[in-house]
Amino acid sequence: MAHRPVVLVVGGGYVGLYTALRLQKRLSRGRAEVVVVDPQPHMTYQPFLPEAAAGSVEPRHVVVPLRRTLPRCRVVTGAVTGLSHADKRARIAPIEGEPYELSYDVLVMAAGSVARTLPIPGLAEHGIGFKNVGEAIYLRNHVLARLDAASSTDDPEVRRRALTFTFVGGGYAGVEAFAELEDMARYAIIHYYPRLSPDDMRWVLVEAMGRILPEVDLDMAAWTVKQLTVRGMDIRLNTRLESVSDDCLVRLSDGDEFASDTLVWTAGTKPNPMLAETDLPVDERGRVVCEPTLQVRGMPDAWSAGDLAAVPDLTKEPGATTAPNAQHAVRQAKRLADNIVAVLQGKEPVPYRHAYAGSVASLGLHKGVAQVYGVKLKGWPAWFMHRTYHVSRVPTFNRKARVVADWTLATVFRREVISLGQLQDPRREFVQAANTGRTGQLPPPTSEDRAQSGSAQAS
């Protein structure tokens, strides 16, 4: 039997899933074997994470299971820890067992980005990112647990610290998470916490630049700041986070300092650092250098796209590269898969070209901001556009149906605002019971006990 080329897809996110879906559709099994490697068994539809954190969408519905969606591909749950494209061999660390090497013929590098952090004292100990579904679930439970803590104490300091929520980074991910979670907390307080008032909360967004939402025009960004400010939220432009102390004292570059139990870092991303363990060419920002055809420069059978790739933007001035967003990722994946099929059939690959259409952002239930093809929308129409656009984009009919069902149920019944705090540490009670059984005495409280009883850190 003739050798079937192995197409190795590193990462099953936007680019990886959409590439594999298209290869699965266009290549028969006998033509090539597609292997998708990702540490998670699912793709995450990141634009829905803020709604998942706010309880408008069930978290399971914002992820797409790889094995169910890619029945004709081989899915490996593990991480690629490095590769030599010269030898066409990748190192795989499965979730269990010894690492091993995998030989391939064609490479698709789609391992995305990671949070770009700074060496700020206390950030690693107290901060949390907002890039995956675990972080979204954690934050939802954490914010609601802070309301429970504040409502169950008479200590004004504990209450103030619990009700102060600090976000760093004003791109769309940060602004959406900030606004959606505030909206949920406000709703919860009004309906279920008679001892608290929305005015007791303090929501602070810290942004180093002089504006937020660089994806939309300045007037739309200024409108968004005004809307959030009217809601009582505190937007600090031209300000940086300086440090966080062990007792959660947040210090800002404008001289302000306050205690805050919640610190969310959404100040940008950087290409996956795993690229340093490969022989793929990278630019000064650590991104894989690509040709307009999405082939890696100098390596015609290696391809890349998405957040970790420097792809020339043919709609802009020479030297410009496409922005790291879902709009490009999904279109690049389609072009990339079609180009792989073309090359396997002995045809020429086609350059990628897409002019950025604009951005839509949700700012809470019935609130949003959008700028698409030059059309600017504010409030309810923008929010509606955000929902219709993303439900049309989320992969598979199954996920579309479930997300729409979640939204429909939320309009019929009240919003679900219960904190499942036990999810943060499910074995705690059992371990405590087992330890008590052994010694006959209650063990001393652990840091988790203290966190659950009122001083949890967002770490």
Ligand X SMILES: Cc1cc2nc3c(=O)[nH]c(=O)nc-3n(C[C@H](O)[C@H](O)[C@H](O)COP(=O)(O)OP(=O)(O)OC[C@H]3O[C@@H](n4cnc5c(N)ncnc54)[C@H](O)[C@@H]3O)c2cc1C
List residues near ligand X by CB under 6 A. Answer: 10-16, 37-40, 46-47, 49, 79-80, 110-112, 130-131, 172-173, 272, 274, 306-307, 324-327, 329
Q: What's the CA angle centered on 432, arms 430 and 434, to 5 degrees?
A: 70
Shortest distance, CB of residue 446 to ligand X, whole angstroms?
A: 31
CA–CA separation, 16 and 18 (whole Å): 6
Closest CA to 53 of 188, 164, 167, 178: 178
Shortest distance, CB of residue 238 to ligand X, whole angstroms?
A: 24
Cβ-in-10-Å burial (0-12, 13-18, 19+) of 298 comes to: exposed
Q: Which residue has the tokens 């169950």?
A: 152
List b or e across 57-84, with b for residues whose CB sees 16 or more CB atoms inside 10 angstroms: bebebbbbbbeebbeebebbbbbbebbe
Q: Which lies closer to ligand X via its Cβ, residue 164 or residue 325?
A: 325
Q: Which lies closer to ligand X via its Cβ, residue 11 or residue 349?
A: 11
Q: Which lies closer to ligand X via its Cβ, residue 312 or residue 454?
A: 312
Helix axes 14-26, 326-344, angle to 10 degrees: 30
Shortest distance, CB of residue 106 to ligand X, whole angstroms?
A: 16
Q: Which lies closer to ligand X via its Cβ, residue 147 or residue 308?
A: 308
CA–CA separation, 136 and 416 (whole Å): 15
Q: Which lies closer to ligand X via its Cβ, residue 49 or residue 225?
A: 49
The structure tokens listed for 373 are 């093809």
List b or e across 358-367, with b for residues whose CB sees 16 or more CB atoms inside 10 angstroms: bbbbbbbbeb
Shortest distance, CB of residue 435 to ligand X, whole angstroms?
A: 35
Q: Which lies closer to ligand X via its Cβ, residue 54 or residue 451?
A: 54
Decide: helix, strand or coil at residue 296: strand
Closest CA to 52 of 425, 409, 406, 456: 406
Shortest distance, CB of residue 450 to ligand X, whole angstroms?
A: 30
The structure tokens listed for 385 are 């556009």
Shortest distance, CB of residue 43 to ligand X, whole angstroms?
A: 6
CA–CA separation, 312 and 334 (whole Å): 16
Shortest distance, CB of residue 65 to ligand X, whole angstroms?
A: 12
Shortest distance, CB of residue 29 to ligand X, whole angstroms?
A: 23
How far is C-alpha 195 from the chain's CA centre? 34
Residue nearest to ligand X (CB): 13
The structure tokens listed for 292 are 């307009």
Q: Which lies closer to ligand X via its Cβ, residue 189 or residue 310?
A: 310
Q: Which lies closer to ligand X via its Cβ, residue 52 or residue 456?
A: 52
